[in-house]
């Protein structure tokens, strides 16, 4: 195929998208192993709450299930949250790959973006917790 546009160098777009989904997928596994399903003593309760907060960070579309009139089970929220959030992470990885000339540049931009998202999420948790009392 002949192309007259500028040649693009750097990570392939699809590889950047797949790489961006690795952290959320690993996080889903860790979260589900960390007592997300149990309600027990104080330690299990704290672990469950932390796991839920981390799930909301890696699956941001799960916030829609906090709307009062939506009644869903925990399994439904996890499944739909994961299935709708992974494409967002993939698109983020593709977008970062378009702007990066090396994998190191991709990783730096991804880490910065994830760090900003993490900080924003914790600020949002604090604001919501303060407003809720």
Low-confidence ranges of the chain (pLDDT < 70): 1-8, 34-46, 66-70
For 6, the token pair is 């500028």
Q: Any residues with CB less than 8 A from the CB of 39 and at least 6 apart, and which?
A: 45, 48
Residue 57: predicted pLDDT: 87
pTM: 0.79
Is the backbone of residue 74 left (phi > 0), alpha (psi -120 to 50) or beta?
alpha
Given this model, what pLDDT does residue 128 score? 85
- The label of the residue with tokens 């709450």 reads 49
pLDDT given for residue 1 in this prediction? 55
pLDDT for 38:
57
The label of the residue with tokens 């900003």 reads 116
**What is the structure's pLDDT at 60?**
86
- φ, ψ of residue 18 to 5 degrees: the values are -65, -40
Residue 47's pLDDT is what? Answer: 72
Q: Are 66 and 85 in contact (CB under 8 A)?
A: no
The structure tokens listed for 54 are 């981390």
What pLDDT is recorded for position 16? 93
């Amino acid at each position: 195929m002949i192309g007259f546009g500028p040649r693009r160098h750097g990570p392939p777009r699809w590889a950047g998208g797949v790489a961006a989904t690795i952290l959320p997928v690993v996080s889903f596994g860790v979260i589900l192993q960390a007592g997300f399903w149990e309600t027990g003593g104080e330690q299990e309760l704290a672990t469950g709450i932390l796991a839920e907060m981390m799930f909301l960070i890696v699956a941001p579309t799960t916030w829609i299930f906090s709307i009062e009139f939506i009644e869903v089970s925990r399994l439904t929220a996890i499944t739909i949250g994961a299935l709708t959030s992974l494409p967002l992470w993939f698109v983020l990885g593709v977008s970062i790959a378009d702007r990066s000339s090396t994998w190191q540049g991709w990783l730096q931009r991804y880490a910065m973006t994830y760090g900003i998202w993490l900080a924003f999420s914790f600020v949002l948790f604090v604001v919501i917790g303060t407003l809720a009392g």
